[in-house]
Amino acid sequence: MDKHQLSRFIKDKSLEIGFHKTGIARAEKLPGSDYLKEWLAKGKHGTMHWMENYLEKRLDVTKLFPGAKSVVAVALNYYSPQKHSTQKEHGKISRYAWGEKDYHKILKKKLKQLLREIKAVDETIEGRLFVDTAPIQDKLWAQQAGIGWQGKHTNIISRDFGSWLFLGELVLDTELEYDDPLQDFCGSCTACIDACPTQAIEPYKVDGSKCISYLTIEMWDEPIPEEQASKLNNWIFGCDICQDVCPWNRFEQETDHADFKPVLENIRPGLEELSKLTEEGFKKRFKKSPVYRAKHKNFIRNVKTAMENK
Ligand code: B12
Ligand code: SF4
Ligand code: SF4
């Protein structure tokens, strides 16, 4: 197969495997990647010190995978149409964590399958797969490969699915045909900036240390600062506000992946009941779910903070 045929093959297989969007970009240091250094220097990562690790690799994919020539960026739509409860006695868990399983495993399995299909055509091709936790800038690659643009809330928005997308990459040591990046369609809209309760968003920049997602998932072993605690709006794991208000999410489509179907108790979880979860109970209920990342102690902290706001 020449590079045109192979690129077509990869995109067709990717759809067959169940990815909703695929784009291909040249593996090189991307313009825009260096903003990360400024973000870290200003402490916008709060206590996420792991973001400082392998910095050179995160900034340049050819250092992460020497020999890399192409980045196949993929996206999976996880949208479920149910609404978050507005009742005070319920907590809010972000939509991406409503399902029973953790998305990392689901994406990884599909990327492995894609790599197997590619190797079946040409066994000399080598590849590495990355999902979220690797030192690679998922959003930059999705943008460069034309999957979507980074909205002012910094999430990737696609014109056909909105922003309810998980992102991943398959990096290959072979030349392919490359897609063009998509232009920005935010225009003069500022809905996400206006709606963010903790004022974490400046256009195209998010102060991670102020984001409710950080405060409830990534900030461990310390109380939620008073200034932000009163603004949690019952979010106990992540936050969907900037995406819920985005006009491009009118184009959202219900996911066709059974694995992302919501567990009903995750949509309207009772705060009182959650506050009584023992470590064992937390493990039993959330072991396979993304919620497990928060750990029992911090999850209970979130629940209690939400209850105090009543
Ligand atoms: C750290 C992290 C967080 C942190 C920091 C968030 C952030 N915005 O950086 C916290 C914990 C707060 C977080 C929250 C969430 N996250 Co998160 N997170 C990550 C992670 C691990 C790294 C992101 C990163 O590199 N941040 C550093 C900053 C510097 O990157 P950046 O925001 O992209 O910076 C760009 C812009 O600022 C822009 N820029 C800068 N200046 C300018 C100027 C102009 C004019 C323009 C146009 C652009 C521009 O260029 C920069 C480079 O691209 C990625 C996974 C990965 N490995 O990439 C997931 C990831 C970004 N998260 C994801 C998700 C789903 C979320 C949440 C929606 C979860 C939730 N519901 O609670 C929220 C969204 C909050 C938000 N509005 O960003 C998804 C996003 C999917 C998508 N459709 O885009 C990712 C890609 C995971 C995945 N593989 O699916 N996350
Ligand atoms: S996820 Fe919530 S807190 Fe974070 S930037 Fe979006 S609206 Fe603000
Ligand atoms: S809410 Fe408006 S400004 Fe924010 S990402 Fe969506 S379109 Fe862009």
- CA-closest candidate to residue 171, choices 114, 239, 231, 92: 114
Non-local CB neighbours of 284 within 8 Å, separated by 6+ positions: none
* Section 20-39 average pLDDT: 96
Give the residue extent of every domain in the chain.
Answer: 3-81+98-172, 191-253+263-308
Q: Which pair of structure tokens corresponds to residue 154?
A: 């910094």
Cα of 242 from ligand 2 centre, angstroms: 5
- Which positions are annotated as active-site residues? 132
User: What pLDDT score was predicted for residue 263?
Assistant: 93
Cα of 50 from ligand 2 centre, angstroms: 21
Residue 191: count of CB within 10 angstroms of its CB: 18
Q: How far is Cα 282 from Cα 269, in angstroms, rounded to an integer? A: 13
Nearest ligand to residue 213 Cα: 1
Each residue of 138-191: pLDDT tens digit? 999 999 999 999 999 999 999 999 999 999 999 999 999 999 999 999 999 999
Ligand 1, atom 29: closest residue by C-alpha = 36
Q: Which protein residues touch ligand 1 with a CB less than 6 Å away?
A: 32, 35-36, 39, 48, 51, 94, 96, 131-132, 136-140, 150, 153-156, 163, 165-167, 204-206, 208, 211, 213-214, 218, 238-240, 242
* Section 53-76 average pLDDT: 97
Each residue of 6-18: pLDDT tens digit? 999 999 999 999 9
Position 295 pLDDT exceeds 80: yes
User: What pLDDT score was predicted for residue 310?
Assistant: 65
Nearest ligand to residue 233 Cα: 2
| Ligand 2 atom nearest 199 alpha carbon | 8
β-sheet bridge partners, residue 171: 71, 128
| Ligand 3 atom nearest 151 alpha carbon | 5
Cα of 200 from ligand 2 centre, angstroms: 6
| Ligand 1 atom nearest 45 alpha carbon | 5
Q: How far is Cα 21 from Cα 117, in angstroms, rounded to an integer? A: 17
Cα of 155 from ligand 1 centre, angstroms: 6
Contact 208, 214 (CB under 8 A): yes
Each residue of 110-144: pLDDT tens digit? 999 999 999 999 999 999 999 988 999 999 999 99
| Ligand 3 atom nearest 242 alpha carbon | 1
User: What pLDDT score was predicted for residue 155?
Assistant: 98
Each residue of 69-102: pLDDT tens digit? 999 999 999 999 999 999 999 999 999 999 988 9
Q: Which protein residues touch ligand 3 with a CB less than 6 Å away?
A: 151-153, 186, 189-192, 245-248
- 232 CB near ligand 2 (under 6 Å): no
Give Dmax over CA atoms of the chain in angstroms.
62
Cα of 156 from ligand 1 centre, angstroms: 8
